[in-house]
Amino acid sequence: MKPVYIVGAGMTKFGRSEWSLMQLASVASLAALHHAALGEIPVDAVVVANMGAARVNHQTALGSALVDRLALYPAMAEAVENGPASGASAFKVGCQAIASGMADVVLVTGVERMRVVNGLEGTDFVASLSQPEVEYIYGVTLPSLAGMFARLFMDRFGVERKHLAMIAIKNHENGAKNPYAHIQQTVTMEGILTAPEAVVNNPPIAEPLHLFDCCPVSDGAASVVLVSEEVAVKLAGPKVRVAGIGQATDTHAVHEREDPTDLKAVRIASEKAFSMAGLKPDDVDVVELHDAFTILEIAESEAAGFFGRGEAHKAIERGETRLDGRLPINPSGGLKARGHPVGATGVAQLVELAWQLRGEAGARQAKGAEISYACNFGGFGNNVVATVLRRE
């Protein structure tokens, strides 16, 4: 496999946007292309990540649409839909194009504009990824799968609501330092858990998960420029190597999993990514996890191998995953604070990590970051893409 490098990364601010789907996608793409400073070197391929445009924006064939918007003809182009893991899946497709020798320069852009529909419709559109015959018909939504997972996981490993709140507090703190984050506001333990008014501030969404355990619904786009070694050597600026990618699937219905608290696809995808990179979890300096729900940051960090089973919440108590801790997790604010424009999220995680490895993350820079890991969690853990990046 030929080496692949990230040489440019950019994104829009996440949140509610008045911009059209293609405005969002082109603003993020141009930010990444300008960051890469390719000069006269042409873009060979464009891969767009998106989950819901066909349904919520009445637009399809997003790859061709973005090529046109950016006047990149005759570049190859397609869109990738893989639920909430669309972003890292599209990134993987872009890497494959370069690794195989089919392309030297690939633009990967994730975009979602989902605030145009009301909350009910937005929740339902995401719920359409659940198993239709044995989950969806019962009114299953993503928060409900997360709520059932959280109750079982917390019961088995002694995780308490205060641990979930610690994750929300940390990620809001990081998000407040991220000018691209949907929510740039800190929260306190009193405000979301212990004070009497916390009941009002932080209502239940899917017990035991409350509002501040759930990511917001966002519009936004994120973009990276991938190049081959032949192109990378011609460019100035720091280079981030795609060291490893792993992907794994699991049963569609959560109830069919041998151990419903085990995120098996995260475990397998991570093992594959680390094995390709020739690295281990202990080598990692900074991490982006898919905390669509706070409980997932705990469970994913264990399944990826950073902590033993039932150990992550203790590490959180010790502050190990804070920006100034041993292993900063979600310096961007994570899905919790940066926001979750579904198809853009997986790309945004890699944008953040590319910035971190280049030392360009500003007030939320993790010190001395050389190796990073991202987990993009699709479905409710039935399709997961893990990525390991390394500064060279």
Partner 1 sequence: MSDNVYGAKCTSCGTVNYPTRAVCRNCRNETFEPVEIGGEGKLLTYTDVYALAIDYETRYLRLAIVELDDGIRVTGQLLDDDPKLGKRVKTTIGVVRDPGEAPIQGLQFVPA
> Which residues of this protein are in contact with partner 1, per CB under 8 A?
119-121, 123-124, 127, 131, 133-141, 143-144, 147-152, 155, 203-209, 214, 251-256, 260
Query: Residue 104 or residue 112: which is nearer to partner 1 going by CB?
Result: 112
Outline where DSSP puts E strands in the chain: 4-11, 45-49, 76-80, 105-113, 204-206, 209-210, 219-228, 240-249, 286-288, 371-378, 383-391
* Residue 283 DSSP class: G
Question: What's the min distance (Å) between Cβ of 298 and partner 1?
Answer: 16
* Residue 78 DSSP class: E
Query: Residue 143 or residue 328: which is nearer to partner 1 going by CB?
Result: 143
Which of these, 344, 353, 387, 350, lies nearest to 87 by C-alpha position?
344
Question: What's the min distance (Å) between Cβ of 60 and partner 1?
Answer: 23
Please give the Cα distance from 54 to 37 (Å, whole number). Answer: 32
Question: What's the min distance (Å) between Cβ of 237 and partner 1?
Answer: 43
Query: Residue 69 or residue 151: which is nearer to partner 1 going by CB?
Result: 151
Question: What's the min distance (Å) between Cβ of 366 and partner 1?
Answer: 32
Question: What's the min distance (Å) between Cβ of 391 and partner 1?
Answer: 39
Question: What's the min distance (Å) between Cβ of 256 and partner 1?
Answer: 7
Query: Residue 121 or residue 197: which is nearer to partner 1 going by CB?
Result: 121
Are 269 and 232 within 8 A, CB to CB? no
User: Which residues have CB under 8 Å from 329's CB, separation 6+?
Assistant: 170, 287, 288, 289, 297, 301, 306, 321
SS3 116: coil
Q: Which tokens belong to 321?
A: 């995953």
Question: What's the min distance (Å) between Cβ of 182 and partner 1?
Answer: 17
Query: Residue 129 or residue 366: which is nearer to partner 1 going by CB?
Result: 129
Query: Residue 205 or residue 366: which is nearer to partner 1 going by CB?
Result: 205
Query: Residue 54 or residue 253: which is nearer to partner 1 going by CB?
Result: 253
Tell whether the torsion through CA atoms of 190, 293, 368 and 274 is positive or negative.
positive
Secondary structure (DSSP) of 325-377: SSS-B-TT-HHHHH-B-HHHHHHHHHHHHHHHHHT--GGGPPTT--EEEEEEE
Please give the Cα distance from 157 to 134 (Å, whole number). Answer: 28
Please give the Cα distance from 265 to 196 (Å, whole number). Answer: 39
Please give the Cα distance from 102 to 45 (Å, whole number). Answer: 9
Question: What's the min distance (Å) between Cβ of 211 and partner 1?
Answer: 9
Query: Residue 156 or residue 234: which is nearer to partner 1 going by CB?
Result: 156
Tell whether the torsion through CA atoms of 317, 387, 378 and 108 is positive or negative.
positive
